[in-house]
Structure 1
Amino acid sequence: MTRDAGQMPEELERAQRFAWDMESLYGDDLVSVVLYGSAARGEYRRGASDLNVMVLVRELTPAALRRAGQRARDWVAQGNPTPLMLSHDEWLRSADVFAIEVADMREAYHVLAGADPFAGITVDPADLRLQCEKELKGKQILLREQYLLFAGEPAELGGLLVRSFSTFLVLFRTVLRLSGEAGVRDAEEVVLKVAARAGFNPGALLEVHRARASGQPPRPTADSPLAVGYLDAVDRVVTYVDRLVREGGAQA
């Protein structure tokens, strides 16, 4: 990109300036800086979305980490998540362990500085399948635990549904990849397509997504169609993925 960030959307401008700072700090040791997540998909919502950046350097020693410490603290102080820092070799060896994350990032990213880190990166469908099953079941258990705690507090329960939605959305996109439908970005389309495959009513998830986008979390009771429908949707997706894993049907 050029050094004129003034014509970019505000969130991209912030990410680009961070990337330029990384170039100044690391020089030839910098491999790439990448923006990924909702901003890269064009779904960034101020106050609800994060600016996710990954920084790859040739060697990630303690000294290399300290070099970016102050800039990383400034970045987090602006309300952004901590940058994902990896050495280039670690990144090249990550596709098997972080199959979901790599596959999801690969579908929507912007190179802000350096080389394209996804050139030559492949994801094994078996790795994707097993991680998806593990992550979905783990997040389902966590959702149930939080539902148990917040069942009598509508504001807390609504906040739980909104906070958990982005995590399940990533996993739902993975479910579509496993089912041969890679590249679906729009959140509502993801929900509708997964609902058709797993057999649940998408209404609760769509309502949570719209509430998240508006910045106005719902306040459902524990037995409301919204809360019950949300948990039921997750349960049906877990069952669907479990069947995929047992049958071995997956595509990356």
Structure 2
Amino acid sequence: MIISNKINEVKMATIQDNNELFKIIITKFHNEYGTNLESITVYGSSIGPDFNPKISDINLAIVLNTMDIDSLLKAKHAILSLKKKKVGTPLFLTKEYIQHSLDTFPIEFLNIQTQHKTIFGEDIFSELTFSNDDLRLQAERELKGKSLLLRLSFLENIKNHNALLQLISSSITSFIPVFKALLFIKAKPIPNTKESIIRSTQEAMNIDGKIFHNALDIKYKRIKLKKDELLDFFRKYSKEVDKLSVIVDNM
């Protein structure tokens, strides 16, 4: 692997030489950005025990020193070529944007912090700090917003069995970062698997975690529901999401 000699020693030390995909990612983006590339971080299920090569995308957060539309356009060829390897479109950030957005998107940055691996450059995410008030406010907003969208999408797809199953799959994935935030607020350890996160949230928030575990089982196709069972599931699912929204509202 050839890396420009402009990369400093600190950044060289973070390269995972035993991982071919990481080396490909580093090379492609460094070739495009050179010294403007601050760091590359892999985050999410792809570096945890929930990783499933058949369905899991590889999420990247790329931090640049400076960023504008022209700098984003430089990444288009790298992004297209890496899609074949299930690497998603990166989240492009700057240090300044991160620091000024911790009160706006604390759940998103906490989600990265709890499961990430910086493969190039400085590990910016490990040192981030979060306000419980900011996390609680966003958690309430996310839960209430997702509850509305869940009901709306349910009505729009009520005759489409597969669409409803996909709705469950996508919704349970979106709840996991919110659950992490609630565990953080409660000063509870944040586990590294979705099932453990649901279990810990059930205990910390006094909710019925079974319905969320069932949603995860549907996502991973471990259970199949008939039409009448699916309707009953949505009744319980919506009720439990609303219950959690009220709990968070009163925290």
Bin for the TM-score computed over the shorter chain: 0.7 to 0.9
SS at match of 1:85: strand
The AA in structure 1 aligned to 2:71 is A
The corresponding residue for 1:66 is 73
Number of residue pairs matched by the alignment: 237
On the 8 A contact 1:53/1:83 being kept in 2, the answer is yes
Give the TM-score of the pair, scaled to structure 2. Answer: 0.84
The AA in structure 1 aligned to 2:249 is D
Picking from 6, 27, 30, the partner of 2:37 is: 30
SS at match of 1:86: strand
**1:5 aligns to 2:12 (yes or no):** no
The corresponding residue for 1:158 is 165
SS at match of 2:143: helix
CA shift at 1:91, angstroms?
Answer: 2.2
Q: Where do 5+ consecutive residues of structure 2 fail to align?
A: 1-14
**1:57 aligns to 2:64 (yes or no):** yes
SS at match of 2:129: coil
1:1-252 equivalences in 2 (<5 Å): 1-6=15-20, 13=21, 15-76=22-83, 78-118=85-125, 120-214=127-221, 218-221=225-228, 224-244=231-251
- Show CA shifts across 1:29-76 (max 9, x none): 111000111113331123432211000110013332222121122234
SS at match of 2:40: strand
CA shift at 1:223, angstroms?
Answer: 6.0
SS at match of 1:34: strand
- Show CA shifts across 1:61-96 (max 9, x none): 333222212112223455443110112321232211
The AA in structure 2 aligned to 1:113 is F
The AA in structure 2 aligned to 1:150 is N
CA shift at 1:126, angstroms?
Answer: 1.4
- Show CA shifts across 1:133-165 (max 9, x none): 111111111011011122233222112101211
CA shift in 2, pair 1:188/1:215, >3 Å: closer
CA shift at 1:22, angstroms?
Answer: 1.3
SS at match of 2:118: strand
CA shift at 1:107, angstroms?
Answer: 1.2
CA shift in 2, pair 1:138/1:78, >3 Å: same
Q: Where do 5+ consecutive residues of structure 1 fail to align?
A: 7-12, 245-252
SS at match of 1:221: helix
SS at match of 2:220: helix
On the 8 A contact 2:37/2:63 being kept in 1, the answer is yes
CA shift in 2, pair 1:16/1:203, >3 Å: farther
How much identity, in percent, do the aligned residues show? Answer: 22
The AA in structure 2 aligned to 1:208 is A
- Show CA shifts across 1:198-247 (max 9, x none): 44432222122123234876554376442222222211211111111xxx
On the 8 A contact 1:155/1:219 being kept in 2, the answer is no
On the 8 A contact 2:165/2:218 being kept in 1, the answer is no
The CA distance in 1 between the partners of 2:194 and 2:212, in whole Å, is 10
CA shift in 2, pair 1:41/1:78, >3 Å: closer
CA shift at 1:174, angstroms?
Answer: 1.3
The CA distance in 2 between the partners of 1:215 and 1:65, in whole Å, is 40
The CA distance in 2 between the partners of 1:109 and 1:51, in whole Å, is 11
